[in-house]
Amino acid sequence: MRNPVPKDNAELEALEQREWREALDYVIQQGDRGRVQRLLATLRHHSRMAGVALPFSAVTAYVNTIQPDEETPLPGSQEIERRIKSLIRWNAMAMVVRANRLSDGIGGHISTYASAATLYEVGFNHFFRGKGREGDGDIIYFQGHASPGIYARAFLEGRLPVERLENFRHELRSGGGLSSYPHPWLMPDFWEFPTVSMGLGPLISIYQARFNRYLEDRNLKKASTSKVWAFLGDGETDEPESLGAISLAAREKLDNLIWVVNCNLQRLDGPVRGNGQIIQELEAIFRGAGWNVIKVLWGSDWDPLLAKDHDGLLAKRMGEVVDGQYQKYAVESGAYFREHFFGTDPRLLDMVKHMSDDQLKRLRLGGHDPVKVYNAFKNAVETKGRPTVVLARTIKGYGMGEAGEGKNVTHQQKKMNEADLRSFRTRFGIPISDEQVAETPFYRPAEDSPELQYVRERRKALGGSVPSRVVRVEPLKVGLDNVFEEFYKGTEGRKASTTMVFVRMLSKLLRDKEIGDLIVPIVPDEARTFGMEALFRAVGIYSHVGQKYEPVDMDTLLYYKEAKDGQILEEGITEAGSISSFIAAGTAYATHGVNTIPFFIYYSMFGFQRVGDLIWAGADSRVRGFLLGGTSGRTTLAGEGLQHQDGNSLVYSLCYPNCLSYDPAYAYELAVIIQDGIKRMYHDQESIFYYLTVMNEQYAMPEMPKNAREGILKGMYRFRAAPETAGESGKDTKSKLRAQLFGSGAIMNEVVAAQEILQKYGVAADVWSVTSYTELYRDGHACERWNMLHPTETPKVPYVTQCLKDAPGVFVAASDYCKVLADSIDRWAPRRIRSLGTDGFGRSEDRTALRDFFEVDARFVAIAALSELLADGQIEAKVVAQAIKDLKVNPEKPNPATA
Ligand SMILES: Cc1ncc(C[n+]2csc(CCOP(=O)(O)OP(=O)(O)O)c2C)c(N)n1
Ligand SMILES: [Mg+2]
């Protein structure tokens, strides 16, 4: 039929619209999707060249990404999976309700798992691979607050006895309990990854997926198809850590990474985006970053309605309702939904006129529809070349009814009254009688029931149960004397800093035939700062795609070499990302059965202070490896000032129970500590990790004194005894005045110098190197505790006390860190310890000025010793006053602790 001649512009446009649509329809019918996409891309480019730009939109319509005709049916039995899920729902809820009935206030969460149950169950029945089949299975980060559901499934699988469920949040009861959230430290055979500090799981999962590639690219592991899954809350995406590294995942084309965001539109207090749409916001962010985004918004019940939506009216209406309003629909009646959602347009009302209010109320959301979720996960698993995020819409507290479904209080709801329990029971068809329901008993069908058989069969087919933490690694047989020997000899007068010494050790370790391949150096764009640039060329910087360009410094010896089998993880300026890599590498002994040994070196102020919670998660994960706080010390790092100069990190690290911290002064100390650390972590398989401060002041490294090894590891040893002679006369006077001086790190040299100054005042001082106040502190408390509990046995003597019991004179300690470190061991010293340290804000200055400002140089050490002798009545005030004058110390200078 020929089109009539249009009579005005409106008609002309309508005609154009029709013709173009018909033309497009023709291509859609004839060709594949690619042909349509190419055609539209050409048109877009063509109009762009003609000066017509299309408005940018990062979002698609508020409908499911996967269309019904693209779906495949759910394999297996949907009905039996529903029954299994219902049982898990019940037991998860019962776990929390029972726990709080017995001890009010013990807490726990019902609503998170209630909203996520379908997401998990589709995973458990069809996707999550256990470690039993090929490869290592999948790596799964479960949302921390959903843990009751994960426990309830393990209960059905027969992995957890009912007694453990009964002791949810009562870990200390006899027979053991269940930890509130995923903690590998507390349940080392079960949980693999801690997730409950929100934002950390998502971030770590990205670096985990990248590390899996690294292991394969470096031939430390066979290539595998295992996936990294991270489940997170929509509220959780507000944590900057959650989204902070998503561009890395896309850039690295991590198609082994799948995120599932449970979009129940609520967080703890209320809606995530009451006045907006969190799903659309996330879609834009992830699409912009280059992820494959699958929106699972509407359940199959909506498909017939959307199929009738030829003009896009329904989709448009779906896209204009804000989340706060959607939440309102979830708690309201079907009549309300009809009136307020469909009632905005008679044509919409017409669409649903055949449906009852009840049917409208029961229209399911996508995240509660196993078929939709299955297809989303299937798409995610099959997607190549980019990571996938599934944005699944659910209702928080699904099934809790009046007790909380969709309500703002639901996150905190720990209890259900009898009526709510009854309707929960009925809704999910749990075979528990009216009489029993108030008790909320756990329910597990018979071993040979179809449900349990199905559960077992599915898990067997998928390679065994998850989560499950298994350490399969062989202890590393290492001596490494060949690597460390040279450092015990000292530098024969040549100057070096502990940072330089460390870098040399690292280079030697990297070259070692036995363990070289296992070393994983990690730097956040700081390699040149630490003098590590030679390693770029020597072992290469890891890049999955190798090096596609000719580096600008190609003609130099130390050029910037990127390689597929490169060993260094050069993370760029992200301490959070780097520590995530550290955690991935330091837990590979369990996750992958590979003994990788990470060395993460960073600016020490940006460690515990900045990413302390990630380090805490690493500690919980039983991470192994070495953290190196580079060029640290509040007065040793010259010039950098208040932000960079670190006197804090050793105080923070004290609180990490399985972190051993050291502040070494000399090359041999560092060598002893690292050699022993590798042995303890990788041979003895201890779940510990190390924090070492390394400084950039250069000085001659002495030879290791005899019998120092044990003391270095325990935290202190006598480095240099007082000279035989004392006093100006030079005769052997065996001075009456004695002092014990403790030095650490770069301040050790100030203490050695103070020994000489004190000689001039007739004081004979021994010098000790304190390598670790934290180890001394822990040992002191451990002894005290043991003694308290074993009053009739021979008391244990703290190592500090053993060292100092016969040491004469006054005690003075100085370090480049806060004074509290030395104060912390004071109680086990026979007399009080006078501590000097660097409390306060740093300054841009040189070392001499800084040490004067912070009162930690040799002069202050000497004055402190004299002051202690005065307090002890051994010398007169005027001697100290004279020393202050002699040493040119201004007694009226500002107090650095507050200045
Ligand atoms: C870093 C951090 N801050 C705060 C909390 C406390 N918290 C636990 S759950 C929660 C709300 C979670 O909301 P969402 O991420 O949307 O998860 P949902 O339970 O809705 O699935 C909050 C604030 C936490 N666990 N971690
Ligand atoms: Mg939420």
pLDDT score for 3? 61
pLDDT score for 284? 98
pLDDT score for 376? 98
As a whole number of Å, the CA-based R_g of the chain is 33
Ligand 1 pocket by Cβ (under 6 Å): 112, 115, 145, 196-199, 233-236, 262, 264, 266-268, 272, 396, 411
The pairing of strands 562-563 and 519-523 is: unpaired
Give distance in angstroms: CA of 262 to centre of ligand 2: 6
Only one residue has tokens 């304190």, namely 770
Which residue CA neighbors atom 19 of ligand 1 most closely?
A: 112
Average pLDDT over residues 489-506: 96
As a whole-number percent, the residues of the chain with pLDDT over 70 amount to 98
Whole-number Å distance between alpha carbons of 575 and 245: 12
**Residue 696 phi/psi, 5° resolution?**
-115, 15
Dig out the tokens for 246 from the structure: 């998503």
Which residues make Cβ contacts (< 8 Å) with residue 130, sequence separation at least 6? 137, 459, 462, 463, 464, 465, 466, 468
Give distance in angstroms: CA of 192 to centre of ligand 1: 20
Whole-number Å distance between alpha carbons of 653 and 690: 10
Average pLDDT over residues 741-748: 97
pLDDT score for 132? 86
Whole-number Å distance between alpha carbons of 340 and 320: 13
Give distance in angstroms: CA of 411 to centre of ligand 2: 9
Average pLDDT over residues 43-72: 93
C-alpha angle 890-894-896 in degrees, rounded to nearest 5 = 115
Whole-number Å distance between alpha carbons of 511 and 438: 67
Which residue CA neighbors atom 21 of ligand 1 most closely?
A: 233
* 802, 718 Cβ separation under 8 angstroms: no
Number of the ligand 1 atom closest to the C-alpha atom of 111: 19
Q: Tell me: cis bond preceding 702? Omega within 30 of 0 counts.
A: no
Q: What is the pLDDT of residues 312-321, one digit of tens each?
A: 999 999 999 9
C-alpha angle 530-532-537 in degrees, rounded to nearest 5 = 160
pLDDT(477) > 50: yes
In angstroms, the Cα distances linking 699 to 407, 666, 692 are 66, 9, 18
Q: Which ligand is nearest to the CA of 614?
A: 1
Q: What is the pLDDT of residues 771-826, one digit of tens each?
A: 999 999 999 999 999 999 999 999 999 999 999 999 999 999 999 999 999 999 99
In angstroms, the Cα distances linking 309 to 65, 70, 304, 323, 347 are 16, 18, 9, 22, 10
Give distance in angstroms: CA of 36 to centre of ligand 1: 43
Helix axes 78-102, 418-427, angle to 10 degrees: 160
Count the residues in the chain: 899
The H-or-E segment that residue 86 falls in is helix 78-102
In which band, very low, low, confident or very high, does the pLDDT at 557 lie, cut at 50, 70 and 90? confident
Strand order in the sheet with 716-720: 716-720, 763-770, 737-743, 810-814, 833-836
Average pLDDT over residues 638-651: 97
pLDDT score for 235? 98
Q: Which ligand is nearest to the CA of 182?
A: 1
Helix axes 667-678, 481-488, angle to 10 degrees: 160
Q: What is the pTM of this model?
A: 0.95
* 698, 496 Cβ separation under 8 angstroms: yes
The pLDDT mean for the chain works out to 95
Ligand 1 pocket test: pick from 411, 412, 414 the residue with the most ligand atoms within 8 Å of its Cβ: 411
Number of the ligand 1 atom closest to the C-alpha atom of 268: 11
Which residue CA neighbors atom 16 of ligand 1 most closely?
A: 235
Give distance in angstroms: CA of 268 to centre of ligand 1: 6
DSSP assignment of 521-544 equals EEESS-TTTTT-THHHHHH-EE-T
In which band, very low, low, confident or very high, does the pLDDT at 274 lie, cut at 50, 70 and 90? very high
Q: What is the pLDDT of residues 132-152, one digit of tens each?
A: 866 679 999 999 999 999 999
Start-end of H helices in 233-309: 240-243, 246-251, 278-289, 303-307
Q: How far apart are the first and last CA of the chain?
A: 90
Whole-number Å distance between alpha carbons of 860 and 842: 18
Whole-number Å distance between alpha carbons of 630 and 611: 15
pLDDT score for 729? 45
Which residue CA neighbors atom 7 of ligand 1 most closely?
A: 268
Q: Which ligand is nearest to the CA of 242?
A: 1
Q: What is the pLDDT of residues 217-234, one digit of tens each?
A: 999 999 999 999 999 999
With residues binned 3-state (H G I as helix, E B as strand, rest as coil), the percentages for the chain, rounded to 5, are: 45, 10, 45
Whole-number Å distance between alpha carbons of 708 and 669: 9
* 207, 577 Cβ separation under 8 angstroms: yes
Compare 557 and 391 and report the one with higher pLDDT.
391
Whole-number Å distance between alpha carbons of 692 and 674: 9
pLDDT(733) > 80: no
Quickly count: other Cβ atoms within 10 Å of residue 516's Cβ: 15
Sequence letter at residue 148: P
Whole-number Å distance between alpha carbons of 577 and 571: 7
pLDDT score for 53? 86
Number of the ligand 1 atom closest to the C-alpha atom of 199: 1
DSSP assignment of 363-401 equals PPBGGG-HHHHHHHHHHHHH--SS-EEEEEE--TTTT-G
As a whole-number percent, the residues of the chain with pLDDT over 90 amount to 93
pLDDT(61) > 70: yes
Q: Tell me: cis bond preceding 467? Omega within 30 of 0 counts.
A: yes
Dig out the tokens for 186 from the structure: 């507390």
Q: What is the pLDDT of residues 331-371, one digit of tens each?
A: 999 999 999 999 999 999 999 999 999 999 999 999 999 99
Whole-number Å distance between alpha carbons of 433 and 453: 24
The conformation of residue 366, written as its DSSP 8-state character, comes to G
Only one residue has tokens 């009080």, namely 832
The conformation of residue 639, written as its DSSP 8-state character, comes to S
pLDDT score for 628? 98
Ligand 1 pocket test: pick from 241, 265, 268 the residue with the most ligand atoms within 8 Å of its Cβ: 268
Give distance in angstroms: CA of 303 to centre of ligand 2: 25
pLDDT(2) > 80: no
Residue burial 693-716, b: 16+ Cβ < 10 Å; e: rest: bbbbbebebbebbeebbebbbbbb
Give distance in angstroms: CA of 427 to centre of ligand 1: 27
Which residue CA neighbors atom 13 of ligand 1 most closely?
A: 267
Average pLDDT over residues 735-750: 96
Give distance in angstroms: CA of 47 to centre of ligand 2: 42
